[in-house]
Structure 1
Amino acid sequence: MNILFIEDDLIETMKFQRTLSKMESKHVLTEAKNGEEALEILQSGKMLPDIILLDLNMPRMNGIEFLGILKSHPKIKYLPTIVLTTSENRDDLLECYKIGIAGYIIKPLKYEDYETKLKTVLEYWNINELVKA
């Protein structure tokens, strides 16, 4: 499965890479440090991910701004996008679902909980028929 991981925090990126390395299924990971960089990757046409994992709180273009642009683009608007954030703000959650996300996950503090949540999400999308289409 091809994954686009959009995250500006190096520690969070390392946690995600560590979680992926422990999984039996091997995934192709593309990383972007902000929404602008992610849009460049998506619009280049070189690689379309099967899923996007997106942080909300980023510089230059935050996750909600990125979602608005993504979901208005005819070719890439159907890419399943899962928000992976520390924000427990109900307004953020509702706005993201209004725009059209596939899931909203709050990053737990304990690494073991983080790993469990991420493995569950990736295993689900790995067997989901949309990814296979």
Structure 2
Amino acid sequence: MSVFSWPVRIYWEDTDAGGVVYHANYVRFMERCRTEWLRAQGIDQFALRQATGLGFVVREMGLDFLRPARLDDELLVTLAVKERRSASMLFGQEIVRGDTTLLRATVRVACVNLDAMRPAQIPADLFRPEFL
């Protein structure tokens, strides 16, 4: 299984008054990692919608907050595909600082027709095999 990673640095805007990353920002960091994973495969989400009407939405998410990130930390957000179904994918994601895991997550993303907001089959040739 291939692991994709995306670096993140923590800025003031990411933290609360105490310099600790606000919990919702971890979700944003993971979303960016998934977007960059798609981009690394040559998938432009806007073009995908224009051509097919399809897009990806988060269906389910489980988060395990282990340690806090703080102002100016350099983090690595990782993604691994755990399961692929006809209309959804399950990702394992982590956010780490050096050798310390700060957060573990599972994220199920569904493929939908964005106009109807109904489940749709993921095109068979959408993802490159080395990324799955």
TM-score range (shorter-chain normalised) is under 0.3
TM-score (norm 1): 0.22
Query: Which structure has more helix as a fraction of its residues?
Result: 1
Q: Which has the higher contact order (CA 8 A, sep 6+)?
A: 2
TM-score (norm 2): 0.22
Question: Highest Rg: 1 or 2?
Answer: 2
Query: Which structure has more strand as a fraction of its residues?
Result: 2
